[in-house]
């Protein structure tokens, strides 16, 4: 049985290691204590020495304030941090008694592996770059149902990747595409995949902004027609206007690419524009919420503080970006979210009518996995409340409430 090691058992690494453990003998190490029923959590020495394949899933953090949960397009661009990856490579050199295949999963900007990492690893080991297209809340499902598996080596020779492809073939549920290339190509595929999504969401939300200003437009009629235009425009995913792109990866990847555009003197910065649009779209939605108060003393409540339903993470959250603009305008506002890992302004119940923004929608977020659990309110919504649904899914005839489908300005 193949012997696999994981360095970094965090939000991504632990679940991925457990998926590997359904097929292979898996050990793992983390600087923080971790537990698992199927992965043998042990020292770095044992993880390195006893594993033929070593996967690195340590953080490549963005600087403070660069996750997209507050405005950042006015700030100096900067690269991700590389210290934890460098540390993992040093540990591998130190404890490996035989040649290893070292696979970096962590997200880095194009060119990073060649410029900063490859030279650190002893030549007897092979270095592969193999990022994942995985989202929080569905890590294990995404791991075995990827759109593609990207594997990069120094030269991009497909023969060098065959063994890793075979390891994955035994695990996958959906027979994915295997894309091989150089380190730099795979770094680029991963980060431009994420930022393409941000651009797409920025575009559909721009149509939403126009719908609000022009009138007589339901944004869904427009985006559904575009989504089905498969001759020239891509498929239907991320073609529903609503909240902006969010999370631990996408906003920060755009923010970091601003730095790369400057570093390579590209001459323009599309990523700045995408992030700037995202911020103004959040500000527009914040202003819309304020307008709905119509001089009443109702507070504004954002229903969902984490960047999506069913997870606690507020990193890169579009809800908190909207909160930032409400705060700037000295508005009374709160969040309701039973899971949020940041409790600032989070309340458990309202007790009075409010303007409620339905930030979370489980179907929009998880529908692609086949998961069909219904949405529920995180707390009692008092009669007299105004509910703003940016996804336009709630019935408009909820007793005692006014439900507004944000982005639909049709009269009927
Ligand atoms: N979370 C995701 O959905 C996701 C998806 C795709 C890519 N990524 C990328 O994967 C990487 C890890 O992301 P994450 O969300 O799991 O981060 P995380 O912070 O949850 O986990 C990283 C883990 O590495 C450990 N660690 C830090 N330094 C270490 C060291 N020197 N040696 C051993 N362990 C160390 C930390 O204690 C932590 O448990 C990042 O580059 C991220 O961009 C994450």
Ligand 1 centre and the CA of 98: distance in Å? 26
Report whether pLDDT(398) > 90. Answer: yes
Our mutation pick for probing the ligand 1 site, out of 56, 58, 132, counting the most ligand atoms within 8 A of Cβ, is 58
Position 266 scores a pLDDT of: 86
pLDDT at residue 118 in the model: 95
80 lines ligand 1 (CB under 6 A): no
pLDDT at 224 over 90: yes
Q: Residue 148 above 80 pLDDT?
A: yes
Query: pTM of the entire structure?
Result: 0.85
272 Cβ inside 6 Å of ligand 1? no
* C-beta neighbour count of 270 within 10 angstroms: 14
- Whether 9 is in the pocket of ligand 1, judged by its Cβ within 6 Å, is yes
Q: Is 186 touching ligand 1 by the criterion CB < 6 Å?
A: no
Is the predicted pLDDT of residue 66 greater than 90, yes or no? Answer: no
Atom of ligand 1 nearest to the CA of 80: 41
* C-alpha–C-alpha distance, residues 141 and 252, integer Å: 23
Mean local confidence (pLDDT), 201-222: 93
Average the pLDDT over each of 15-19, 28-32, 175-179, 366-370 and give the range with the smallest value: 366-370
* C-beta of 87 in contact with ligand 1 (< 6 A): yes
Residues 216-228 have a mean pLDDT of 95
Ligand 1 atom 28 nearest Cα:
84
Residue 373 has pLDDT above 90, yes or no: no
CA of 84 to the centre of ligand 1 (A): 9
**Is 60 near ligand 1, meaning CB less than 6 Å away?**
yes
Residue 12 C-alpha to ligand 1 middle, in angstroms? 6
């Amino acid at each position: 049985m193949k012997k696999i090691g994981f360095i970094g058992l965090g939000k991504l690494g632990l679940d991925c290691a457990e998926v590997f453990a359904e097929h292979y003998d898996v050990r793992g190490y983390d600087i923080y204590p971790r537990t698992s029923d199927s992965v043998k959590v042990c020292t770095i020495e044992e993880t390195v020495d006893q594993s033929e394949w070593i996967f690195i899933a340590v953080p490549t953090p963005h600087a403070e304030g660069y996750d997209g949960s507050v405005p950042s397009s006015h700030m100096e661009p900067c690269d991700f941090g590389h210290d934890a990856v460098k540390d993992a490579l040093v540990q591998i050199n130190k404890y490996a008694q035989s040649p290893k295949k070292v696979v970096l999963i962590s997200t880095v900007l194009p060119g990073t592996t060649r410029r900063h990492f490859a030279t650190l690893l002893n030549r007897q080991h092979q270095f592969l770059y193999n990022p994942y297209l995985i989202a929080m809340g569905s890590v294990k499902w995404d791991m075995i149902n990827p759109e593609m598996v990207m594997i990069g080596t120094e030269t991009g020779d497909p023969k060098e990747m065959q063994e890793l492809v075979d390891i994955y073939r035994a695990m996958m549920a959906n027979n994915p595409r295997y894309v091989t290339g150089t380190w730099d190509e795979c770094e680029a595929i991963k980060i431009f995949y994420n930022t393409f999504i941000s651009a797409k969401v920025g575009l559909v939300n721009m149509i939403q902004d126009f719908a609000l200003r022009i009138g007589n437009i339901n944004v869904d009629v427009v985006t559904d027609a575009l989504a089905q235009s498969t001759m020239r425009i891509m498929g239907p995913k991320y073609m529903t206007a609503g909240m902006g792109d969010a999370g631990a990866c996408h906003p920060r990847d755009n923010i970091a690419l601003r730095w790369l555009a400057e570093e390579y003197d590209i001459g323009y910065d599309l990523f700045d524009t995408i992030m700037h649009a995202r911020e103004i779209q959040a500000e527009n939605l914040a202003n819309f919420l304020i307008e709905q108060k119509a001089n009443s003393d109702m507070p504004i409540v954002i229903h969902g503080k984490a960047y999506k339903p069913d997870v606690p993470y507020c990193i890169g959250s579009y809800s908190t970006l909207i909160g930032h603009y409400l705060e700037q305008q000295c508005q009374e506002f709160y969040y309701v979210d039973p899971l949020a890992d940041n409790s600032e302004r989070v309340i458990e119940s309202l007790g009075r009518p409010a303007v409620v923004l339905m930030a979370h929608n489980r179907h929009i977020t998880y529908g692609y996995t086949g998961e069909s659990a219904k949405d529920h309110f995180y707390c009692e919504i008092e009669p007299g409340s105004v509910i703003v649904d940016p996804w336009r899914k709630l019935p408009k005839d909820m007793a005692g409430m006014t439900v507004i489908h944000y982005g639909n300005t049709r009269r009927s």
